[in-house]
Amino acid sequence: MLAAAALRAQDTTAVQLVDSTYVGRDIMSVIGPGAKVNQSNPVRQALQKYVASNAEKTITGYRIRVFYNNEPSARSRSESIEATLKNQYPGIGVYRSFESPNYKVTVGDFRSKDEALGIYNALKGTYPTAYIIKETINYPR
């Protein structure tokens, strides 16, 4: 019984040693600017094929809801907000939807809440009613 308790303690320690700061990050952002990666054509093609095969998949993640309204002007306001955010954040998905009777605008495909917080903090000054929601997101590309 003592050996089992010690084994569990060791397992817990091993899990705690995992550095989660690298989860979801691109390798180039970790190794820094100026790094050169030599990649053979078969490896490059295999990676492109893998990414393309996952393009239609979805996973559970987080988005930032910046607009949710059913006023008569909600459609035009949601279109305007969508266009503004697409210009402001070109690398981040912006989604406008209608679920009767509400128009919604959400931002991002974040795998963790911490990842969403960075953009949320930037948006909350302009969109004070913004909040983070758990939602089905597009598979990371």
For residue 75, the domain's CATH number is 3.30.70.1070
Q: Looking at residue 141, what is its pLDDT?
A: 60
Task: Give me 113's structure tokens.
Answer: 């809440």
Tell me which residue range forms the domain holding 119.
58-138
Which tops the pLDDT comparison, 56 or 1? 56
- Domain assignment present for residue 131? The answer is yes
Over the stretch 78-107, which tens digit does the pLDDT of each residue have? Answer: 999 999 999 998 888 999 999 999 999 999
Confidence band for 123, pLDDT divided at 50, 70 and 90: very high
Within a domain: 75: yes
Residue 51 lies in a domain: no
Whether 89 is covered by a domain: the verdict is yes
Q: 120 in a domain, yes or no?
A: yes
Neighbour tally for 9: CB within 10 Å: 10
For 4-33, the pLDDT digits (tens) are: 444 444 444 444 444 556 666 666 667 777
| pTM for this model (two decimals) | 0.64
Q: Is residue 71 part of a domain?
A: yes
Report yes or no on 76 lying in a domain.
Answer: yes
Q: How confident is the model over 28-82, as pLDDT tens digits?
A: 667 777 777 788 889 889 988 887 887 777 789 999 999 999 999 999 999 999 9
Domain count, the chain: 1
The more confidently predicted of residues 51 and 137 is: 137
Is 21 among the domain residues? no
